[in-house]
Structures are given as structure tokens and as C-alpha cells.
Amino acid sequence: EQTTLAVPVLSLTFSPTYIAEEKGFWKEEGLDVKLQAIPGVQATNAVLAGSVDFTNTASSAFLRANARGQKVVAIANTLEKVQVEIVISKAFLDKKGFDANASVEKRAAFLKGAKIAVDAPNSITHGYVKYAAKKGGLDPERDVTVSPMAPPAMLAAIRSGQVDGLSMSRPWPSILRKEGITLTVASTPLGDFPELNPFNYNLIITKPGFCESKPSVCRKLINGFKKALAFMHDKPEETAAILRRKFDKTDPALVDDALKAVIEGTPRSPIVKEDGFTSAQNYMLSAGIMRPEEKLTSFAGLYTNEYAK
Amino acid sequence: MDMKAHAPFLEVEGLAKRFAAKAGRGESLSVIEDLSLSVSEGEFVTVVGPSGSGKSTLLNMLAQIDRPSAGSVRLRGETILGPQSGPLVPGWNCQIGYVTQEDNLLPWRRLEENILFPLRAQGRLDEAARERVAALVELAGLKGFERFYPSELSGGMRKRASLVRTLSYDPPVILMDEPFGALDAQTRMQLHADLLRMWNVKRKTIVFVTHDIAEAIALGDRVLVLSRAPAKVIAEHRVDIPRPRDIDHLVLAPGFAALFDRIRQALI
Amino acid sequence: MDMKAHAPFLEVEGLAKRFAAKAGRGESLSVIEDLSLSVSEGEFVTVVGPSGSGKSTLLNMLAQIDRPSAGSVRLRGETILGPQSGPLVPGWNCQIGYVTQEDNLLPWRRLEENILFPLRAQGRLDEAARERVAALVELAGLKGFERFYPSELSGGMRKRASLVRTLSYDPPVILMDEPFGALDAQTRMQLHADLLRMWNVKRKTIVFVTHDIAEAIALGDRVLVLSRAPAKVIAEHRVDIPRPRDIDHLVLAPGFAALFDRIRQALI
Amino acid sequence: MRTFDRIAVLVALLAAWHAASLYFGAQWITTPWVTAQAFWRALMRGDLWHHGSYTLSAAVLGFLIGGIPGAGLPFVLRRMHTLRAVLDPYLVAGYGAPKVALTPLFIIWFGIGLASKVALVASVVFFLVFFVTSAGLASVDQKLIAAARVFGADARLIAREIVWPSAAPYVFTGLRIAAPYAIGTAVVGELISSNRGLGYSIQAAATDFDPAGIFVGVVALALVVTGLNAALGLLEARLLSWRPDDKTVERAQAAF
Amino acid sequence: MRTFDRIAVLVALLAAWHAASLYFGAQWITTPWVTAQAFWRALMRGDLWHHGSYTLSAAVLGFLIGGIPGAGLPFVLRRMHTLRAVLDPYLVAGYGAPKVALTPLFIIWFGIGLASKVALVASVVFFLVFFVTSAGLASVDQKLIAAARVFGADARLIAREIVWPSAAPYVFTGLRIAAPYAIGTAVVGELISSNRGLGYSIQAAATDFDPAGIFVGVVALALVVTGLNAALGLLEARLLSWRPDDKTVERAQAAF
Ligand SMILES: Nc1ncnc2c1ncn2[C@@H]1O[C@H](COP(=O)(O)OP(=O)(O)OP(=O)(O)O)[C@@H](O)[C@H]1O
Ligand SMILES: Nc1ncnc2c1ncn2[C@@H]1O[C@H](COP(=O)(O)OP(=O)(O)OP(=O)(O)O)[C@@H](O)[C@H]1O
Ligand SMILES: [Mg+2]
Ligand SMILES: [Mg+2]
């Protein structure tokens, strides 16, 4: 059997996908999975349009799509911890007496007046900036400016002083940290904002009705993911080796660093948890990337664990 | 034959043309006003008039590439053009040939292809036609230049090519706008003789515009004299020199000198 | 004055022009071969020759808008053009005016602006110049059409405009390529008379190409006859009709008929 | 009459749009009516002006900064045949190189503000106008130039009086083509980095699963381009007024 | 001589590139030498062929599918003045609408494979070629048409023998401009969804911190465009051989 899976960006957060492919876990199941790069929200659109069968998305985009009437269902979750970090250049922070050891609320207050790169408007990274600003007692609309741009452009923008920092998942923050030009203002992988976890960070989604019509495809796909998740926990060394090969142009130390956070956030089973939605929705509401009237009281019908269990 | 030859064949009645005013130029320009003439079948009519008097404009309307402001044109009794008539039909289905004042050769075609273009357009290009055209090309002194592009020909050669192009497909009516204007005396006289010989055989109806009074007399059955713009026919002279005419010694023909002088007077 | 007038002023020696062969056409074409002539200051030389013989090509080289394959051109003893000389200097710094066979008016400029273009280019456009040009425009029968674009003028009017454009800036040498070719007899004769009158006063050096033998005799001090291509000077006739000439009755001048006939013989 | 026909076509297009929306579903193609409402709201809230003015400034500035040298340089290079011939393959390669892939460089050089979008637009417009103008220069009638040289016109005068008017129809074609590209490139530039502009608003609408927002942006862009095009058309009509007027053209066309 | 000059310019450009790389740092601009090595490796591994052939097929197919009707339709509409005038504003708006913003629609209609890239390229090329060709048709000498009508040429023959040759220089200009855009649009299409193609490889290199990979992609694209341009140049020289030959042009140019 054949199926297609859209990958929104080349990122270590999709490690289970890469492992399943490299190790041939899907082949073992008798499923031929074609990976297709479709950036950002277009991947979800491609699923809705029926151009691809599956994609990965975070629950923030997932909930918003459903709230806007774009019905998609989640059939598995492969990452349950928020991976985003905000790093800000020393040049910006130093003159204000930033203390890296203070509480996250204190640190977030230093975002006042900062210009921060995010990957897309209304994305999870954008929401993270707003969330942090609010926790720091700032007005998220007025006190910080975000500037959406493509990730490689962010590095150029920070180095040339065009923006003061970025809000992204690894390895982007790690690169800057390693260069020593930025300090970490907020980082959930490093333990800030623990209330955000568990968070359905990487849902496997498809169109409603797809799995009903092709249950074996869904089952085989998720079985492959199950094996990949187990592999990552059981053989972290081998996992790292595979991913270093996949990201062969990236500094291996950065791969390992990012992978550490990813493995930590990787569940042992791809079951979709209700509280992953609850915390995601709370996060969206308080970050202001979901309107209060759109709040869902129940998540029933948005996901099924039929295949993940 | 004689009867038929004198029945009105091509008739122009009350023709007028005025060009609209334009920014930077106050009034509209009346180039032709209430012009009437009639040509019988097989007649050779020559038209003389000062430069800028509207001769080309008149031929443009006869060939239906421009529309009159008033008046009408009739061919064989049928009205083929009026200010309100249907869409213009240039050349009235190959009935009316037109050798324009500018050569209008296609710059991207060799001389040969340019000359054969009408026959090709009409789907009449066969061996016989090719031979006929080859003879015409030789007559016009263009032999050897068949594979030249117009930009590589002299001014006179382009003019001759454009003449041959129209003669090649033999339309019953031919309008000619100073076709021999750019030719040397030699070629010119020879072409006069050739044109008359050809006309004598085929008896085409010809309206021939020129600014050369001698040429007008030498060729025409009748010479029409146009006034300065707005043009009208101000005089009409029948040329009584018998045909076939001896072009070389025409100046000596009885009546030539007197006619020449009368036309010249009319033109002043 | 007489001495000076007969010193060689414009000299052409061993001039040759050959156009390169091209795809679809085997051999190169030799248009001019070993052509020599010399014109003294203030002389009016006319050139006749069959159509396509290379008259325009010759003038193009004199005006330096084309380069000869061999030979040289000298002005006032100085070599101004040869096959290897430096870059072409068209018009040799406004010393040589050229009325080309095609009118070459700028389509996007009104008649008036076209005519004043040379004076403007030379920075000599003042009130006096404007008045002089206005007189020339009137003389050429173009008055009232100053604000027309070339596409709105008749063929003859465009030709006259191009003539006036060159006369307006008074170059010492003027080359003319059939400037009166498209004019009616009336205008033509008048312009002949005007040109001669003007020349009589200013004594420009003129090389005048025409295909009209009568015109060549009427205007020239000397008539050069070119052969068919490749062109050479095959005959040269001094015109002994005294100046000022009465253009209207020139045919009656002693020697005219004989000269006309001799040139015609040479051309055959 | 023509206005009437245009309205008829407009109605037909709107009907087709509506039908498409019904067929594909409103989450892909919002109906014209919903789009119009959203458009009106965005207009009233000032959003359209906020975003539109940003995109328009990037496009117009880049258009000028790229277009003026693009139209001027061919005139300068015109007489330097060797230089031109030597540079040609590199210019073509420069035209062909995907500027969008070089965004990091644009950001280093021009920052993430308006300047980088202006630079991106200018780099695209420059090459476009340059090549079209060069083609126009190749179409100049050399005989007119030769005649003008004979009576003493210098290079500048020839450029202004002969070369420019003959090349002008090409230059205008180039500008008309470049105008939508300028807008399009400004939009792409905003997708790469921005927090303002119609491109940004389209992207924001896309991540917000708000198809009406996307269509409002697209319609706004189409309107801006139509406006620019009309403005260029007026300018062209003014500068090329010597061409045979409508009457003449109609005549000649009727003749065919 | 010219070849020599070109090589001199090439060396100068490479030196400038190298200097820029030193100045900005190799992580932004890889040195020419490193790029060349990476290029060679990619070529040997077959990567360039793998990605390049995909981009090229999208570009060429889209070019044909958009370019042929784009060049043909103006000929059809030429005599339908009213229709043309009525459609004009909508065509302009269609030209101006940012196709890239409509990618979701392209994905719905054409999927995520080659077809959607081809459609995207075609939609861009069509409008471009359409407008340039229309401008070319406006430049046809109406007198030639009138003369041909007089001797009985029908609409088809006139289109082929008069209108087409006069418009051809414009059409070629349009095609030359469209060729790089076709490639550029194919690349953008790949950025949107693909797992193959030079655009994809550039994007993958960008997220993989591989500046040499980006430059290899950019250089490959520039080479492809230069090649396409040369091919169009040859075709143009063949079709427009009636123009005064080099000799004549040189003469006329020397005259200025
Ligand atoms: N498109 C136009 N707009 C305005 N006036 C025009 C237009 N075409 C021609 N004219 C005017 O009409 C008049 C007659 O022109 P036409 O070409 O018919 O003269 P003609 O008798 O053929 O002259 P020639 O012997 O010089 O060729 C001229 O005064 C000219 O300016
Ligand atoms: N660019 C060219 N390439 C090839 N042959 C050419 C070129 N230009 C002119 N010729 C040839 O040179 C010859 C002379 O042309 P030219 O124009 O000088 O004749 P002309 O004497 O002025 O004739 P006319 O009286 O008809 O104007 C012609 O046979 C022509 O075909
Ligand atoms: Mg006329
Ligand atoms: Mg000549």
C-alpha cells in the first residue's frame, strides 16, 4: 500500500518521521510512505485538499483550523513538549542589567522594546513571544515587535542587528547560543513555563473519514511511528547517528543538543491526550492567538486513538 | 465593344474627404470636395494635380483602404463604397489593383517572394504564372536581384518591384500612384511602351496618377486635372493621339504641344 | 575667384564599393568600381545614371554614412575618407549636407520641428534663422502644414520638407539624391529656379543626382553620366548654357537639344 | 457600450467565481459577496491602507530605483558595443539568478525593513526593464540616425530625439510588464520577512485559516496593479501622441 | 578578442565574489572555489541532474503551455477590438494577481506533483507573453496590411506573412524575458511543495546550514537561464535573418 506524508519543514522535531523512514519501519509494515516537503500551513491545506494523506502539525494550528471550519482529525501525537525558545542578543540585554538566573517572569520583562523574529504570523513561535511578554507583565501587542521571516534569514538578521532575537525551536537558538551572542530569555525545553506541557506538539493529522475508508493505511503508518518512538528511547546513540547523517551539513554538536530536547519530549506511545489540547488552548487564549469566543469546551471528535492504541 | 467601352464602369460621385482636427491643430482639413468622375471599361485615365492636392487620398478611397466623408463609388453600376456602406473591402475582391506611392514591400521577404505574394494569396501560383512573372521581372530590369531583400535594393528598384507585384495578378482595374516617379528616363520610356502594349492587349481599366504632364498625355485616353486641395476635377482633356502610340516620338505628334500647354495653364 | 573655383575642392579617387555575399546569394555584388571625379568649389555637378547603378551608394560614401571598399575622398585637399581611415564622420562636421532619396523625417515630430532640427542640433536656432526657414517653408509650398506629422503629409510634401531641412542650415557642400523626384512639374520648375537663384548667390558646391536628363542639364555646370553597375563615370559633359539660366525656356537654349541627345546616347 | 460590455463580463466573472466557490467549498474560495464584505471591513478598519501603503511604497520605490537605471543604462551602453557584448552573458546570468534564494544577503545588506524589499524589487525590475529597453534600442531605424549625424546632431541629441522616441514603445511595454512584477516581488519580499504589507496580511490570513482574508489581499493587489497599469497607459498615450490617432488606426484596422 | 574580454570580466567577477565572501564571512557567501568544488561533487553524484532536470521540465512545460497561447491569443483577439477592449482590464488584473498567494488553489487543482508547478509557471508566462505580443501587434505597419488586403490576402495569410514577422521581435523579447521567469517561478513552486528540484535543493541547503549548497543551486540556475537565453538568441537570429546583416548594422552604427 502507498501513502503520502507532508513534512512542513526540515526539522529535528520530525525525528520520528525520519527514523521510521531510515529504519524502514513502514516498509516492514508493508506501507510505502512518500515524504513531501510542503512548508508551514500549506501542508495542512494539502491534507484538506486531498493532495496528501497525512501531515504533522502542532495543536495550535490544528485547533485554529478546526475552529475556522477546516475539519481535520488527529490520529497520533509524536511530541508532547513545547520546543520553543526565545533568545535575545546580548547587545540588547546587557545594557539593561539582564540576569540570566532570575525567574522567567522577570526575564520576560526584558523583552520590552525588543524586535523578535518568528517563522510566520500567528504561528506557535509567534504565540510564544506573546505568551512570554504577557507573563513578563508587558502588553504583548505594544511592547514587543515580531517580524516573521524564513529561519535562515533570522540568523542574518540577528547578526546584522536587524532584529534583537528569535523565537524558534532548536537548532536555531542553539546556534546563536553557541556563538555566544545571545542569552536565553525563555525556554520550555530548559524548564520555563512548565504549565504548557503536556502539549500536543506534533500531531499526525488526516482528513475526517480517511482512516474509516483506509483503516489499514492508518494502522500501518502509526505502527511505524510506534516503532520509531520506541527506537528513539531505546537506542539514543543510533538515533543520533542517523540524524547526524541526515543533517550532515549541520554541526553535529547542534544536532545532539536539539535531539536531546526532542527525545525528552517524545512520548513512548503516540496516543493523543486530551490534556495536550487543554494546555494548548489555554496557551493560545492567553497568548491572544485564539479569540475567546472560539474556545472549545470539548475536544471530542477532533482525534481518535483507534490506531495509536 | 466600343459601346461597352463607353458605358460607365467605375463611377465616383460627389466624393469628399476631410481629416479630423487634432490637438495642436485647430481646424479639420478638407482634402477632397464634391469630386465626381467616371471611367469606362478598358479606359486609361491619367490624373495630374499639384503635390498635396489629394491624388493619393482619392486612390486610397477607390481601393477602399480609406472611407470617404461623403459621396459614393460605383463599379459596374453597383455601389461599392459610401460613407455608410458596410465594412471596407480593400481591392474589392482582387478587382482593383493598387500600385501605391510608397513601395510597401515586406522587408522580411526577398524580392521574388514579394512579387509572388499576390498570386500566392489568391492561390494561383503555378508554373505558368511563375514564368509570366519571370518575364515581367526581366522587363522591369530586376533580373538577378530575385534573392535580395528590399533594404538591399535601390529606391527605383523597389518601386519597379512594387509595380511588377500588381501587374503579376492581372486585376481588371489598376490604380497607379506615380509608379514611374523614381525611374530613369530610359527605363521609364521603356516601361511606358510596355505598359501601353500590355494595356492594348488586355484593355485593363487604368487610373494613373502622375505629376508629369508629358507622361499623362503619352499614356492616357483622357487627362483629368485636379485643383489644389480641396481637390476637384477642374479640367478634363481627351487625348486624341491615335493608338498604338510611338512613345519615342510622341512630342512630335500633332496636338501634343497644344495639349501640354493647355494642361499646364490649367495647373497654374 | 575663378582660379579658386577651379582648384579641386571635392575629389574622389578610385572609389569602389562591393556588398558582401550573403546566405542564399552566392557572390558579392560590386556596385561601384574605380570611380574618380573631382568637383571644384562652387561648382554644380549633376549625376545621371540608370536606376540601381549606384548613385545613392556613391552619395552615401561622400556623406560618410558608408565606407568604400577602396579609393578615397578628399575635401580641400585633405583626405576625409578611405577604406582604412578613422571612424566615419557623417557630414564631415556639417560641411556636407545630404538630401537623401528617402525623406528620413522623424515620425514623432511635427513638420516644423523636423525642419528646425539641424539648426537646433548645431545650436544656431535664433529668430533670424527661424525667419529664414519660414521663408523656405513658404517657398516649398508647405506653409500651413507646420503642425502636421509626417504621416499626415503627402509623399511630395515630405520630400520637400526633407529638402528644406538641409537647405536651412547652409552647408558649403550639398549632396542631393533625386530631391525633386516626387514633385509636380509646376513646383519642380519653380524649385529649379529657386535653387539656381540661391546657388548663384551663395555658390555652394552641389552634387545633384537625378534620373531626369533635362533636369541634369538645366541645373548643372557639368553632367556626369554613370554606367550600369558596377558604376563608373562613362561620360562627362560641360553645360555651356550661360547663367543665369531661364529655366522656363531652357529647351530653346542653343545646345540643349544636342546635349540632351548626347547624354541619352551615352545612357543607352 | 464598452462600459456595458465590461460590466457584463464582470458579472460573468463574479458568477464564475461564485460557482467555483460553491464547487470547491468556501474554505478554499470564499464567495464574492463574503470577500466584498471582508474587503469593506478591512477598508473601514484601515487595515487595507496600513498594509497596502507599505506594499505600494516598496513596489514604487523599487520600481523607480530599478527602472530608471534599467531604462537608462542601455542608452549609455548603446555605443559601447564591445563592453555590451562582453557584459551580456553576465547580465543574463544576473537576470536568471533567483534573487529570492539570496534573501539572507539582502537582509545583511539592507536589513529587514522597507529597504530590503525595495532592493529586491529593484533588482528584479532593473533586469526586466534593461532587457526590454535594449530590445527597443535594437529596433531604431539606423537611417534616421545617419541622417541626423550628417547635419551635426551629437550623441545626446540623437539619444533624446531619435533613439528614445523609437525605443519608447518598448520601454513602456517593459514598464507595464515590470509594474505587476514589482508588486509581486514586494509581496514575496514580505513573505520572507515583514510584519506589514499585503503579502504579510495574506500570509497571516493563511496561517489563520481565513480564506476571506487571503482573497481580500489578492483582490487588493489586483486592484493596485490595475491602477498602476492605467496610470502607465495614460503616460504612454501622452508621450506617444505622434502615433496615428485613433481615427487613423480605426481606419487602417477597418481596412483589414 | 571578445572572448578574451569576457574572460577578463569573469575573472573580475570571481575576484569580487571572493572578496565579498571574505568580507561577509563564508557562512553567508561561500568562496567561488568552494562553490566550484561543491558544484563538481553535486554534478558527479548526479544530484544536479536529478534536481535540475525536474526544475527544467516544470519550467519548459509551463513555458510551452503558457507561452504558446500567450503568443497566439493576441493574434486571435487582434481583430476583435471590442472583445479585446472589454477583456483588457480583467487580463491586467489577472496578470497582477499574485499567483504565489494562490498556491493553495494550485495545490487543490493540480496536486503537489509536477503539474502544479507547470500550472504556476504557465500562468505567469502566459500573461507575460500575452502582453508583450500584444504590444508587438500594435506596432505593425498598417500600410503593409492595407496593401496586402488589396491584392486579396486573407486574414490568415496576413497574420502569418505580415503581422507575425513584424511582431516577432517583440515576441522574442517576451520569450527572452519569460524564460528566466519560468525558471524562477518553477523554483518558487518547488519551495512551496516538492521533494525534488533546484528550488527544493536550495531550500534544503538553507535549512541545513549549507551555504555552498545554496550557491551551487543559484549558479546552476544562472547557467540554465544563460543556456536558454542563448538558445532563444539562435532561434531569433534564424527567424529574423532578413534584418540588415551584421555588416550593415556595423556600418550604420559606425556611422553614429
Ligand atoms: N492622416 C492625415 N491627417 C491629416 N491630413 C492628411 C492625412 N493624410 C493626408 N493628409 C493631407 O491630405 C492632403 C493630400 O494628401 P495626398 O497624399 O492625397 O496628396 P497627393 O496629391 O498624393 O500629393 P503628392 O503628389 O505629393 O503625393 C495633404 O495636404 C495632406 O497633408
Ligand atoms: N545593403 C546592400 N546589400 C547588397 N546590395 C545592395 C545594398 N545596398 C544597395 N545594394 C545594391 O547596390 C546597387 C546600387 O544601389 P543604389 O541605391 O546606389 O542605386 P541608385 O543608383 O541610387 O538607384 P535608384 O536610381 O533606383 O535610386 C543596387 O543593385 C542594389 O541592389
Ligand atoms: Mg501622393
Ligand atoms: Mg538611389
Give this complex's ipTM.
0.74
Q: Is the pLDDT of residue C222 over 90?
A: yes
- Establish whether residue B175 lines the binding site of ligand 1, counting it when its CB lies within 6 angstroms of any ligand atom: no
- Establish whether residue B101 lines the binding site of ligand 1, counting it when its CB lies within 6 angstroms of any ligand atom: yes
Cell of B261: 500647354
Q: Is the pLDDT of residue E15 over 60?
A: yes
Interface of C with E (CB under 8 A): 20, 22-23, 64-67, 87-88, 90
Region class of C94: left (phi > 0), else alpha (psi between -120 and 50), else beta:
left
Identify the CA nearest to B116 among candidates B130, B102, B106. B130
Domain ranges of chain C: 3-95+171-267, 104-168
CA-to-CA distance for B200 and A118, rounded, in angstroms?
92
Radius of gyration for the alpha carbons in chain D, expressed in angstroms and rounded? 22
Cβ distance of D203 and A48 shorter than 8 Å: no
Cell of E206: 538553507
Q: Regarding predicted confidence, which is higher, B109 or D193? A: B109
Query: CATH: 3.40.50.720, 3.40.50.1000, 3.40.50.300, 3.50.50.60. Which one for C3-95+171-267?
Result: 3.40.50.300
Q: Regarding predicted confidence, which is higher, E70 or C5? A: E70
Residue C152 DSSP one-character state? G
CA-closest residue to ligand 2 atom 3: B152
Beta-bridged to residue B10, according to DSSP, are B39, B75
The contacts of residue E210 (CB under 8 Å, 6+ apart) are A249
The contacts of residue D77 (CB under 8 Å, 6+ apart) are D83, D84, D87, D134
Per-window interface: D 139-178 vs B, CB < 8 A: none
Cβ distance of C151 and D248 shorter than 8 Å: yes
Q: What is the pLDDT of residue D104?
A: 66
pLDDT band at D201 (very low <50, low <70, confident <90, very high): confident
Q: Regarding predicted confidence, which is higher, C43 or C25? A: C43
What average pLDDT does range A104-111 have in this prediction? 88
Classified as helix, coil or strand, D139 is coil
Distance from CA of C21 to the nearest CA of B (A): 11
What average pLDDT does range E20-37 have in this prediction? 80
State the ligand closest to the CA atom of C62.
2
pTM of the model: 0.77
What is the bridge-based pairing of β-strands B8-19 and A165-169? unpaired
> What secondary structure does DSSP assign to chain A, as a single string?
-EEEEEESSS-GGGHHHHHHHHTTHHHHHT-EEEEEE--THHHHHHHHHTSSSEEEE-HHHHHHHHHTT---EEEEES--S--EEEEEEHHHHHTTT--TTS-HHHHHHTTTT-EEEESSTTSHHHHHHHHHHHHTT--TTTT-EEEEB-HHHHHHHHHTTSSSEEEEETTHHHHHHHHT-EEEEEETTTTS-GGG-S---SEEEE-TTHHHH-HHHHHHHHHHHHHHHHHHHH-HHHHHHHHHHHTTTS-HHHHHHHHHHHHHH--SS----HHHHHHHHHHHHHHTSS-GGG--S--TTSB--TTT-
Q: Give yes or no for a contact between E104 and A45, defined as CB atoms under 8 angstroms apart.
A: yes
Q: What is the pLDDT of residue B252?
A: 74
CA-to-CA distance for D33 and D19, rounded, in angstroms?
12
Distance from CA of B252 to the nearest CA of C (A): 14
Residues of D in contact with B64 (CB under 8 A): 255
CA-to-CA distance for A268 and A78, rounded, in angstroms?
9
Q: What is the pLDDT of residues E84-126, one digit of tens each?
A: 777 777 777 777 666 766 666 677 677 777 888 898 889 888 8
Cβ distance of C212 and B185 shorter than 8 Å: yes
Please check whether residue D249 touches C, CB under 8 A. Answer: no
pLDDT band at B12 (very low <50, low <70, confident <90, very high): very high
What is the bridge-based pairing of β-strands C96-99 and C173-177? parallel
Cβ distance of C67 and E245 shorter than 8 Å: no
* Closest approach atom of ligand 1 to CA B101: 27
The contacts of residue D236 (CB under 8 Å, 6+ apart) are D172, D176
Is E175 inside any structural domain? yes
The contacts of residue A61 (CB under 8 Å, 6+ apart) are A41, A44, A123, A124, D207
Cβ distance of C67 and E254 shorter than 8 Å: yes
Per-window interface: D 95-124 vs A, CB < 8 A: 103-105, 107-108, 111-113
**Least reliable range by pLDDT among A204-213, C30-39, D98-107:** D98-107
State the ligand closest to the CA atom of C177.
4
Beta-bridged to residue C64, according to DSSP, are none
pLDDT band at D251 (very low <50, low <70, confident <90, very high): very low
Q: Of how many residues is chain B composed?
A: 268
Identify the CA nearest to B44 among candidates B244, B220, B200. B220
CA-to-CA distance for E54 and E196, rounded, in angstroms?
7
Distance from CA of C66 to the nearest CA of E (A): 6
Residue E162 DSSP one-character state? I
* Closest approach atom of ligand 2 to CA B184: 25
Cβ distance of C166 and D151 shorter than 8 Å: yes
> What secondary structure does DSSP assign to E199-255, as a single string?
HHHHHHHHHTT-HHHHHHHHHHHHHHHHHHHHHHHHHHHHHTTTS--HHHHHHHHHT
Residues of D in contact with A40 (CB under 8 A): 207
Q: Of how many residues is chain E composed?
A: 256
pLDDT band at E42 (very low <50, low <70, confident <90, very high): confident
Please check whether residue D152 touches E, CB under 8 A. Answer: no
State the ligand closest to the CA atom of B54.
1
CA-to-CA distance for E254 and A248, rounded, in angstroms?
58
Please check whether residue E5 touches D, CB under 8 A. Answer: yes
Chains touching chain B at 3 or more Cβ pairs under 8 angstroms?
C, D, E
**Closest CA in chain A for residue D189:** A149
Is D256 inside any structural domain? no
Region class of E7: left (phi > 0), else alpha (psi between -120 and 50), else beta:
alpha
The contacts of residue A78 (CB under 8 Å, 6+ apart) are A16, A17, A56, A202, A203, A204, A225, A228, A229, A266, A267, A270
Q: What is the pLDDT of residue B6?
A: 52
Cβ distance of B90 and E161 shorter than 8 Å: no
Classified as helix, coil or strand, C210 is strand
Q: Give yes or no for a contact between A75 and A303, defined as CB atoms under 8 angstroms apart.
A: yes
CA-closest residue to ligand 1 atom 26: C156
Q: Give yes or no for a contact between B160 and C25, defined as CB atoms under 8 angstroms apart.
A: no
pLDDT band at E245 (very low <50, low <70, confident <90, very high): very low
CA–centroid distance for E42 within its chain: 25
Q: Is the pLDDT of residue B182 over 70?
A: no
Burial D31-44 (b: 16+ CB within 10 A, else e): bbebbbebbeebee
Q: What is the pLDDT of residue B98?
A: 94
In Å, what is the CA distance from A247 to each residue of B97, C84, E42? 78, 66, 17
Pick the residue of B67, B96, B98 with the most D CBs within 10 A to test the interface with D by mutation: B67
Asked if the bond preceding E180 is cis, omega within 30° of 0, the reply is: no
* Beta carbons within 10 angstroms of residue C268's beta carbon: 6
Is D248 inside any structural domain? no
Residue B20 DSSP one-character state? P
Pick the residue of D139, D140, D151, D251 with the most C CBs within 10 A to test the interface with C by mutation: D151
pLDDT band at C205 (very low <50, low <70, confident <90, very high): very high
What average pLDDT does range B63-84 have in this prediction? 88
Q: What is the pLDDT of residue B5?
A: 45
Number of domains into which chain E is organized: 1
Is E184 inside any structural domain? yes
Residues of B in contact with E161 (CB under 8 A): 106, 109, 117
Q: What is the pLDDT of residues D55-67, one digit of tens each?
A: 899 999 999 999 8
CA-closest residue to ligand 1 atom 9: C152
Pick the residue of B61, B92, B102, B106 with the most E CBs within 10 A to test the interface with E by mutation: B106
Residues of E in contact with D222 (CB under 8 A): 93-94, 96-97
Residues of D in contact with B25 (CB under 8 A): none
Half-sphere exposure (Cβ direction) of C146: Cα atoms closer than 13 Å: 14
- For ligand 4, the distance from its centroid to the CA atom of residue C105, given in whole angstroms, is 17
Axis crossing angle, helix E81-96 with helix D211-239, rounded to the nearest 10: 130
Residues of E in contact with D97 (CB under 8 A): 218, 221-222, 225
- Backbone φ and ψ for C181, nearest 5 degrees, come out as -55, -35
Distance from CA of E150 to the nearest CA of B (A): 4
Q: What is the pLDDT of residues D3-42, one digit of tens each?
A: 777 777 788 888 888 888 888 777 777 888 888 888 899 8
CA-to-CA distance for A51 and E115, rounded, in angstroms?
12
Cβ distance of B23 and D247 shorter than 8 Å: no
> What secondary structure does DSSP assign to E81-102, as a single string?
HHHHHHHHHHHHHHHHS-GGGG
Identify the CA nearest to C45 among candidates C254, C264, C217, C259. C217
Q: Is the pLDDT of residue E247 over 50?
A: no
Q: Residue D144 sits in a domain of what CATH number?
A: 1.10.3720.10
Q: What is the pLDDT of residue C73?
A: 92
What average pLDDT does range E182-199 have in this prediction? 79
CA-to-CA distance for C4 and B47, rounded, in angstroms?
48
Q: What is the pLDDT of residues A55-105, one digit of tens each?
A: 988 888 888 888 877 888 999 999 988 889 999 998 888 877 888 888 888
**Least reliable range by pLDDT among A65-69, B21-25, C9-13, E25-29:** B21-25
Cβ distance of B104 and E147 shorter than 8 Å: yes
Residues of C in contact with E252 (CB under 8 A): 65
**Residue with the three cell numbers 509572388:** B116
What average pLDDT does range A114-124 have in this prediction? 85
CA–centroid distance for B259 within its chain: 21
Cβ distance of C184 and B110 shorter than 8 Å: no
Distance from CA of D113 to the nearest CA of A (A): 8
Is E3 inside any structural domain? no
What average pLDDT does range D152-180 have in this prediction? 83
CA–centroid distance for C256 within its chain: 22
Q: Is the pLDDT of residue B65 over 80?
A: yes
pLDDT band at E193 (very low <50, low <70, confident <90, very high): low
Q: What is the pLDDT of residue B13?
A: 92
Q: What is the pLDDT of residues C99-156, one digit of tens each?
A: 988 888 998 889 999 999 999 999 988 999 999 899 888 887 888 899 888 888 887 7
Is E6 inside any structural domain? no
CA-to-CA distance for C85 and C64, rounded, in angstroms?
11
What average pLDDT does range D130-135 have in this prediction? 82
Mean pLDDT for all residues in chain C: 85
CA-to-CA distance for E33 and A66, rounded, in angstroms?
51
Classified as helix, coil or strand, D13 is helix
State the ligand closest to the CA atom of C100.
4
Q: Using a pLDDT cut of 70, give the percent of chain E over it.
A: 84
Distance from CA of A153 to the nearest CA of D (A): 5
Burial A231-248 (b: 16+ CB within 10 A, else e): bbeeeeeebbebbbebbe
In Å, what is the CA distance from A284 to each residue of A199, A262, D201? 12, 22, 20
Beta-bridged to residue E171, according to DSSP, are none
Residues of B in contact with D243 (CB under 8 A): none
